[in-house]
Structure 1
Amino acid sequence: MPPPPFVLSLLLLLLLQIVVVVGGEWLDSAPTTPGSRNETGTRNSAANSSVGVLLLSASTDQVVIDNGLLHVAISVPGGDVTGIQYNGLDNVLDVLNNDDNRGYWDVVWNLPGHDIIFDRVHGSTYKIVSESSDQIEISFNRTWSISTNDTFVPMNIDKRYIFRSGCSGFYTYAIFDRPEGWPDIEIDQVRIVYKLREDKFQYMALSDDSQRFMPTAGDRSTGLPLAYPEAVLLTNPENQEFRGEVDDKYQYSIENQYNRVHGWICDEPPAGFWMITPSNEFRTAGPVKQDLTSHVGPITLSMFVSTHYAGKEVGMKFNSGEAWRKVFGPVFVYLNSASPEDGSNSLWEDAKRQMYGEVKIWPYDFTACDDFPNAEQRGSVVGQLFVHDGYISEQDMYGASAYVGLAAPGPAGSWQRENKGYQFWTRANKRGLFEIEKVRAGDYNLYAWVPGFIGDYKYDTNITITPGCSIDLGTLVYEPPRHGPTLWEIGIPDRTAAEFYIPSPYPTLMNSLYTDNRKSRFRQYGLWDRYADLYQEHDLIFTVGTDHYRKDWFYAQVTRNAGNTTYQSTTFQIVFELQQVNDMSTYYLQLALASAMESDLQVRFNNASVEPAHFSTGPIGQDNAIARHGIHGLYWLYGIEVPSFQLHGGINTIYLTQASAKTPFQGVMYDYIRLEGPPET
């Protein structure tokens, strides 16, 4: 005779509270098994280490995992990381925050035409996906239905965590699933957030040359808000060395291709907290898309989807009836420590080594997820890219250092706005040879662009990747846009404005992180206002053959403050000389933009007031790269026909007017400008 239902329920509750392997209450004691150490004394955490015994205990409101190096508590069924005990720290996360505001996933979304909604992704069910003495994977799932709270994004979301024996960290990823027939929605952001203890983690590291002690959230709260949201002038910081500095989380943005490891360091005891991203395949909009990393809080992020430095053009839009499924991650949350003799300086170097190790073993073979294919289930593509431009060389040139990638099928260049699929990119070598490895099965287009040349390449045939395939495309030739010989050029076609004149910041609006870092000096606040200081009487006039773009071309064409919160459009002039003009011929102006923010760029030839303009882009851009300290946003390329009657022998002037002028943050950044003569016969 089966036991009564209440007995079954009691047994189930008891089982839930029993330690699955060996139990332990949260924060009862620090892990006692030390990690192995490398030559520098920094604790090492190879994923297959046998250090420690993997322990799991669960109750009705949390699950706790102890692997011998760290002790992690996760809320049940929400799936938020509420505590991480490590290296003598009872919790590296901010205990002053609520449990659901320490380590969490969130989504920013909206119904079309409605206000955006900030959705903290809390699971509604919890289960152990797989379990052994070496590894445990747990799931926190939330299923949407029409009756679900309308603040929840219409997606089924399964958050996963993987813990491995002796591994000084944990892996996390999420499966987003949208069945056919669900409502129209737009998603602008998907990310992970970890908020650390401010009294311990005060040193931030983003790269070899971008790291320092940081101000605090309290310093920001007493500071002076500046013209653009998120930017604060520190007026009364606890550490007076930060007084008079500007802090803005967007100053710490990094391109996806370089955003592999970042985080924070605690001095006492020496410990580091790092976000490691071994692959960009699940991030949107390609390798040069910029995004947030770590910033004052202290906060560490993993950004998967965002509209930063691009605008709504890269936000995901789902139409009614559109089914979709994607895995974001896994990413690795890594903690390391150092001996007192080595101190905290060794922690960044160890975090980099760990990152390289994670990249080497990608894709991971230990996830319990059918939607995450291992290496054997993936394929590769190889080839060699050349560039043919007969006005530069009669012979094909190597596509040296070309960006070559696979992304969803679409027009040439569409990869920079693609947001729902997976992308796989590599850099060709100096001979244009490339290999794209570890590609998920599916249908793709192959795209490329070559620094030093304008435009985008697209291979003319779709590429289907199957498990285990190795596709050799042989020799590919890219013919960049070209109509005639170069008469003159301004800038370098590299999709950024970095080569142009970037002014020194105002002494009262500096961030010392970039004081001596010249390659990132564009990250300083308020540079757009320097234009009016430098060009008080008239707008920029650039004379070809006399001026040089590195010192005479302002990096951004911005609006001019006219007082009383009004702004004026600005007009850059390019003055050049033609010995003669070929009648009844067509010249071409190649105009490449590195960024555009709510702009309308109008082009006129030898007539500053002609209406309509000889050419206009119309309203373009929402990338906000000027205000958010980026040297580029999305790339725009225009080939403008110039009939010979618009030019004349002698001195000519091109007028570039950015006509939209409602705020100080509107404007464009130029990548490259070239005037081409008529085709040679």
Structure 2
Amino acid sequence: MSPLGVHLHIQDSHVVMDNGILQVTLSKPEGIVTGIRYNGIDNLLEVLNDESNRGYWDLVWNAPGSIGTTGIFDVIKGTTFNVVMENEEQVELSFTRTWDPSLEGKLVPLNIDKRFIMLRGSSGFYSYAIYEHLKEWPGFSLDETRIAFKLRKDKFQYMAMADSRQRHMPLPDDRLPPRGQALAYPEAVLLVNPLEPDLKGEVDDKYQYSCENKDNKVHGWICTDPPVGFWQITPSDEFRSGGPHKQNLTSHVGPTTLAMFLSAHYSGEDLVPKFNAGEAWKKVFGPVFIYLNSAPEEDDIDVPRSLWEDAKEQMIIEVQSWPYSFPVSEDFPKSYQRGNVCGRLLVRDRHVSDDYISANGAYIGLAPPGDVGSWQRECKDYQFWVRADKDGYFSIYDICTGDYNLFAWVPGFIGDYRYDVVVTITSGSDIDMGDLVYEPPRNGPTLWEIGIPDRSAAEFYVPDPNPKYVNKLYVNHPDRFRQYGLWERYTELYPDEDLLYTVGTSDYSKDWFFAQVTRKKDSDNKYTGTTWQIKFELDTADQSSTYKLRIALASATLSELQVHVNDPKANPPVFSSGLIGKDNSIARHGIHGLYWLYNVDVSGAGLVKGDNAIFLTQTRGTSPFQGIMYDYIRFEGPPSSTSKTEIVD
């Protein structure tokens, strides 16, 4: 611990927190971070930017009744400054902006209290905010909110967000014409003439560095001279929307570091909270930790690796310290004010085993009460998630008081579990829920299946990118789906006929394209929907029974899935999803968006002994980014059926 305490220096238009390790300067009363001094660098933030464009909270909002995911961008500037706590152990500052009816249409109808905390001996600082909407205020939608830091481009050029996702990055200048050439959308840029010749011909796109909430704990930037790391650490997901698999931006060219709390990325408008007039709401976002570290300037030290490994260790410390005991606001409940839940989840599927099956690795969480699976679209309140152990046991600690449903999904099984009784958490409560049983959708034996039920299309065939559009980080990388332009490869691989998959012969890892995208018609540069065909053989067809086709989708963007059986021209089709999805995962290099499950009845009268075919048509075709990703497909026989395919895939 540093022998120096924390000191506060209040100036006319700025305030400085200083603990002897770093100094953080904020504008007063706005609460914008204008400077961070550390390890001999006067300011880690971009000094070429205006003070209001260095370190700030922002949001995007819209008037009630608005649709879409865009709106009014607002860098949140406080109008009142207050010292909440000041001693040698801790300084906590408050920058508030209050709303009144005279601001209607000009500012989002929220009271916002931004807090910044510095502790003795801490190599960093914390920030959180309390958003409040009063019952008598007008409604609004909140499309996005986050903290953004813009670092010095002359210092920070190496980015790290995971062990296998880190690299020397382009400069922001490289993205601008004529050095950079915008591709199919503004975020994706081809580096035509970058300042560093080694990067020439690469694609840069901030969405290539997206990350699921559950894995989005630490990311940031490294300066090598002197060796300094700037890290965004998020110790809990409880205040993020959409559950553990919701994807968010992290760090990207700028150099920019983000703490994302609420966004519509990889989900669309489903994750834009809409507040009505008369709806009271309050939520605490954060605290998150901005961590700074340094390394000795020695020739034999791998600076990026050393700083990254240290940042991961600090992340673990922060996670283990959650919920923090030091925030002053009563709106952030301490551990003793929260409750715990434990139990075990089992799976019952008689067509897999006569015994109960342990829900090995199940994702289990408490989220506001709602329908089965509603947690992935929930975006107003708090969620608390863990993974079960191999035997299905789980413990969820430090849950905020309130009413919840317990939700779960189990890798290897389709569908969602919900415990139907509302779980009420009170301060100090410790609830043992005992053994819970999930019975996944199942009517009859599996005749054949394609894929793995894991809510991702990663197991399917992901092609190599066009050599013109490569991000070198993802060459020979598990996340090869993050390359730009893969949607164009479908037409190149299937120039004349759409995908044909033969059960028992085809291999989904080689023969099932990862996304059912539109087909580009070269003659007029337009697009059309596509029809994929699954061929399978039945030893017998029970004409009087009903078979079941389970289709789990990992993603959908402005798509309509139609299913035909044996007759691709039949009208109406056996099934139509209608227009679904706005997650845009194809364009944004995500291998999934929101999860959809369809259970389709197939009349045995439409099947024959011997060769059969299912036709999957994505009918919409006005854009290269329309399409669906499959998670898993299963064809079940009737409940009493003993029929089998020649080979079960």
Q: TM-score range by the shorter chain?
A: over 0.9
What does residue 481 of structure 2 align with?
522
Q: Is 1:61 equivalent to 2:13 in the alignment?
A: yes
* Distance (whole Å) between structure 2 residues aligned to residue 56 and residue 556 of structure 1: 55
Report matched runs for 1:47-446 at 5 Å. Answer: 49-114=1-66, 116-148=71-103, 150-221=105-176, 222-341=179-298, 342=301, 343-446=303-406
What does residue 517 of structure 2 align with?
558
Report matched runs for 1:608-647 at 5 Å. Answer: 608-647=568-607
The answer as to whether partners of 1:78 and 1:123 remain within 8 angstroms in 2 is yes
Tell me whether 120-129 or 342-351 shows the greater mean CA deviation.
342-351
SS in structure 1 at match of 2:421: coil
* Distance (whole Å) between structure 2 residues aligned to residue 399 and residue 149 of structure 1: 50
SS in structure 1 at match of 2:505: coil
**Structure 2 CA distance for partners of 1:123 and 1:149, relative to 1, 3 Å:** farther
What does residue 568 of structure 1 align with?
528
The answer as to whether partners of 2:560 and 2:620 remain within 8 angstroms in 1 is yes
The answer as to whether partners of 1:216 and 1:296 remain within 8 angstroms in 2 is yes
Aligned letter for 1:107? L
Q: Kindly provide the CA deviation profile for residues 455-487 of structure 1, in whole angstroms up to 9, marking residues without a partner as x.
A: 000012110111111100111110000011100
* Distance (whole Å) between structure 1 residues aligned to residue 348 and residue 432 of structure 2: 21
Tell me whether 240-249 or 462-471 shows the greater mean CA deviation.
462-471
SS in structure 1 at match of 2:103: coil
Q: Kindly provide the CA deviation profile for residues 352-402 of structure 1, in whole angstroms up to 9, marking residues without a partner as x.
A: 000000011110000101011111111111101110000111111000000
SS in structure 1 at match of 2:633: strand
* Distance (whole Å) between structure 1 residues aligned to residue 159 and residue 138 of structure 2: 41
* Distance (whole Å) between structure 2 residues aligned to residue 553 and residue 178 of structure 1: 48
What does residue 454 of structure 2 align with?
494
The answer as to whether partners of 1:493 and 1:672 remain within 8 angstroms in 2 is yes
What does residue 492 of structure 2 align with?
533
Aligned letter for 1:441? T
Which residue of the other structure, out of 555, 577, 600, is the alignment partner of 2:537?
A: 577
Q: Give the Å deviation of 1:130.
A: 1.2
Q: Is 1:456 equivalent to 2:413 in the alignment?
A: no
What does residue 3 of structure 1 align with?
none
**Structure 2 CA distance for partners of 1:121 and 1:525, relative to 1, 3 Å:** same
**Structure 2 CA distance for partners of 1:227 and 1:344, relative to 1, 3 Å:** closer
The answer as to whether partners of 1:117 and 1:151 remain within 8 angstroms in 2 is no
Q: Give the Å deviation of 1:511.
A: 0.3
Q: Give the Å deviation of 1:345.
A: 3.0
Q: Give the Å deviation of 1:259.
A: 0.2
Q: Quote the sequence identity (%).
A: 58
Q: Give the Å deviation of 1:583.
A: 2.0
The answer as to whether partners of 2:461 and 2:511 remain within 8 angstroms in 1 is yes
Q: Give the Å deviation of 1:113.
A: 4.5
**Structure 2 CA distance for partners of 1:344 and 1:396, relative to 1, 3 Å:** closer
Tell me whether 446-455 or 344-353 shows the greater mean CA deviation.
344-353
Q: Kindly provide the CA deviation profile for residues 478-504 of structure 1, in whole angstroms up to 9, marking residues without a partner as x.
A: 000001110000000000000000000
Aligned letter for 2:514? Y
What does residue 647 of structure 2 align with?
none
Q: Give the Å deviation of 1:202.
A: 0.4
Q: Kindly provide the CA deviation profile for residues 258-281 of structure 1, in whole angstroms up to 9, marking residues without a partner as x.
A: 000000000000000000000000
Q: Is 1:666 equivalent to 2:618 in the alignment?
A: no
Q: Give the Å deviation of 1:149.
A: 6.4
SS in structure 2 at match of 1:212: strand
* Distance (whole Å) between structure 1 residues aligned to residue 434 and residue 590 of structure 2: 37
- Count, aligned residues: 632
* Distance (whole Å) between structure 2 residues aligned to residue 321 and residue 149 of structure 1: 15
Q: Kindly provide the CA deviation profile for residues 515-573 of structure 1, in whole angstroms up to 9, marking residues without a partner as x.
A: 131x2100000001000011011000000000010000000000011133311110000
Q: Give the Å deviation of 1:419.
A: 0.5
* Distance (whole Å) between structure 2 residues aligned to residue 226 and residue 645 of structure 1: 49
What does residue 552 of structure 2 align with?
592
Q: Give the Å deviation of 1:122.
A: 0.5
Tell me whether 51-60 or 476-485 shows the greater mean CA deviation.
51-60
What does residue 504 of structure 1 align with?
464
Aligned letter for 1:537? D
Q: Give the Å deviation of 1:344.
A: 4.0
What does residue 24 of structure 1 align with?
none
* Distance (whole Å) between structure 2 residues aligned to residue 346 and residue 151 of structure 1: 47
The answer as to whether partners of 2:543 and 2:607 remain within 8 angstroms in 1 is no
User: Any stretches of 5+ residues in structure 2 without a counterpart?
Assistant: 642-649
Tell me whether 110-119 or 217-226 shows the greater mean CA deviation.
110-119
SS in structure 2 at match of 1:468: coil
* Distance (whole Å) between structure 1 residues aligned to residue 251 and residue 361 of structure 2: 29
Aligned letter for 1:79? G
What TM-score, normalized by structure 1, do the two folds share? 0.92
Q: Kindly provide the CA deviation profile for residues 12-58 of structure 1, in whole angstroms up to 9, marking residues without a partner as x.
A: xxxxxxxxxxxxxxxxxxxxxxxxxxxxxxxxxxxxx3442311111
Aligned letter for 1:91? N
What TM-score, normalized by structure 2, do the two folds share? 0.96
The answer as to whether partners of 2:7 and 2:87 remain within 8 angstroms in 1 is no
* Distance (whole Å) between structure 2 residues aligned to residue 612 and residue 567 of structure 1: 24
The answer as to whether partners of 2:349 and 2:442 remain within 8 angstroms in 1 is yes
SS in structure 1 at match of 2:487: helix
Aligned letter for 2:143? D
Q: Give the Å deviation of 1:150.
A: 2.8
SS in structure 2 at match of 1:460: strand
* Distance (whole Å) between structure 2 residues aligned to residue 639 and residue 145 of structure 1: 50
* Distance (whole Å) between structure 2 residues aligned to residue 159 and residue 340 of structure 1: 37
What does residue 44 of structure 1 align with?
none
After the TM superposition, which segments of 4 or more aligned residues of structure 1 sit over 4 Å from their partners? Answer: none
Q: Is 1:607 equivalent to 2:567 in the alignment?
A: yes
Tell me whether 463-472 or 585-594 shows the greater mean CA deviation.
463-472
* Distance (whole Å) between structure 2 residues aligned to residue 416 and residue 492 of structure 1: 20
Q: Is 1:470 equivalent to 2:430 in the alignment?
A: yes
Aligned letter for 1:521? R
SS in structure 1 at match of 2:484: coil
**Structure 2 CA distance for partners of 1:129 and 1:585, relative to 1, 3 Å:** same
* Distance (whole Å) between structure 2 residues aligned to residue 561 and residue 181 of structure 1: 52
* Distance (whole Å) between structure 2 residues aligned to residue 324 and residue 281 of structure 1: 16
The answer as to whether partners of 1:263 and 1:300 remain within 8 angstroms in 2 is yes
